[in-house]
Amino acid sequence: MTLRSIRNLTLLLGAAVASGCTVFPNPEPPRVMDLATTRDVPDAGHTVSGTLRVDTPYASEPFNGSLILAKPTPQEFRAYEGTRWRDTAPVVVRDTLVSSLRQSGAYSNVITDTNPAQAELTLVTELSAFHSETPESGPQVVIELHLQMIHNRSRASLCTRTERVVEPASGTSVDQIVEAFGTAGSDLAARVIEWSTRCDYPSRLRPSPETDPPRQP
């Protein structure tokens, strides 16, 4: 390269910097996806007379991040490129449960673990699956959540259960996978509502069939 060519390249780079541009392309921002439920929330029928705090699920790697995960083999996880959940997977699951429990009228009040208010009950959970798979039967998503209802005053465990939801996907694209996650999230929320209202609550908290369940926005 001649001295004149070097001088011309220097001038070109200087002009680009001065104009606020860069000679290197900026990577495209990732698409940010939400766990959009696809079905109406079932009515709980009865209301537990107390406030329920829903803790953010415990999750170990790789489920404690915001990547949308695929598991092509039993030994390997991969992430969909250029796409992520709007928050970590545990927070997305927690928010889905909170929203659905409020709409169901299952409890007098439902709060998250970020709320300093007192609560009679706490829903403690562990997220052990939140990914897509592609078995011979076709693509699907899997959500597995271990649930435990705690009475805060006595610290007693009122009921426990593990829910595993497997939802077929219409294809392997990220949009089809996220859509299947939404259907699986709706199914999971409905199961949690049904299970939680059948726990062995103290007498003063037990649902009253004579009381119409209040709904929260």
Give residue-wise pLDDT tens across range 100-133.
999 999 999 999 999 999 999 999 999 999 999 9
The whole-number average pLDDT for the span 138-158 is: 97
Specify burial of residue 14 (Cβ count, 10 A radius: 0-12, 13-18, 19+).
exposed
The residue with tokens 């998250």 is: 112
**Quick check: 12 pLDDT over 60?**
no
Q: Give residue 45's pLDDT.
A: 85
- The CA distance from 89 to 92, in Å, is 5
70 and 79 in contact (C-beta within 8 Å)?
yes
- The CA distance from 10 to 145, in Å, is 58
Degrees, nearest 5: CA angle 121-123-126: 160
| Percent of the chain residues past pLDDT 90, beyond the cut | 73
Q: Give residue 18's pLDDT.
A: 41
Average pLDDT, the chain: 87
Residue 152: which of 117, 196, 121 has the closest Cα?
121
Give the model confidence (pLDDT) of 37-76 as tens digits. Answer: 888 898 988 899 999 999 999 999 999 999 999 999 999 9
Here the tokens at position 83 are 């796409």
**Quick check: 151 pLDDT over 60?**
yes
Q: Give residue 1's pLDDT.
A: 53
**Quick check: 4 pLDDT over 90?**
no
Radius of gyration, CA atoms only, the chain: 24
pLDDT band at 203 (very low <50, low <70, confident <90, very high): confident
The whole-number average pLDDT for the span 182-196 is: 96
Comparing 6-20, 96-110, 113-127, 172-186, the range with the smallest average pLDDT is: 6-20
3-state secondary structure of 208: coil
pLDDT band at 180 (very low <50, low <70, confident <90, very high): very high
92 and 85 in contact (C-beta within 8 Å)?
yes
Q: Give residue 19's pLDDT.
A: 39
Cis peptide before 62 (omega within 30 of 0): yes
The whole-number average pLDDT for the span 140-169 is: 97
Q: Give residue 37's pLDDT.
A: 83
Cα distances (Å, whole numbers) of residue 17 to 9, 58, 59, 149, 165: 12, 46, 45, 59, 52
